Amino acid sequence: MAVRVRRLMIRADFLKVKLGRRASTQSFVVQYLDVPEENGLGVGFTASTKGVGNAVARNRARRRLKAVFDDVCRLNPEAEGQGKWLVLVAKAPILEIDYKYLVKDMRKALAEAGITCGAPV
């Protein structure tokens, strides 16, 4: 069964997750926090002007993060994990890196955060 995912939308939730642990890759950072009362995963996506650039670049970076996360975790029936909040923060290289390397980075970062992704989809 696929992982149950809900979006984090409130700034206070993003700030709580910032106090947790982090896993860094070349193209993004995954900040994660254990939240025992969460049934599934809470996920937020962000890209800053300082880290990525103008509005067009930030929107593209967030779209790429969402697509990779969906392929690796949300739409993967073999993915398992719950009781965590994740915030994925884009870095500038996300705009140039090939998609297959983003998938590899996402699998590695989620494994470090305690979310198993199973076989590639």
- The structural domains of the chain, with segments of one domain joined by +, span 5-112
Sort 30 into a burial class: Cβ within 10 Å, 0-12 / 13-18 / 19+.
buried
pTM of the model: 0.90
Give tens-digit pLDDT for 71-86: 988 887 777 778 889 9
CA distance 78 to 100: 19
Separation between Cα atoms, residue 9 and residue 26, nearest integer Å: 25
Q: What share of the chain is helix, strand, coil (3-state, %, to 5)?
A: 40, 25, 40
Task: List, in order, residues 6 or more apart from 75 with CB less than 8 Å away.
Answer: 2, 121
Q: What average pLDDT score do residues 84-94 get?
A: 93
Residues 50-74 have pLDDT tens digits of 999 999 999 999 999 999 999 988 8
Which secondary-structure segment (H or E) carries 109? helix 99-112
pLDDT for 12 equals 94
Phi/psi zone of residue 118: left (φ > 0), alpha (ψ -120 to 50 degrees), beta?
left
Span 112-117, mean pLDDT? 85
CATH 3.30.230.10 fits 5-112, yes or no: yes
- For residue 40, give every residue at least 6 positions away whose Cβ sits within 8 Å of its Cβ, in sequence order, or none: 3, 4, 5, 6, 82
Give the pLDDT score at 39. Answer: 85
Model pLDDT, residue 90? 95
Side-chain-facing half-sphere of 102: CA atoms under 13 Å: 26
Q: What is the pLDDT of residue 44?
A: 95
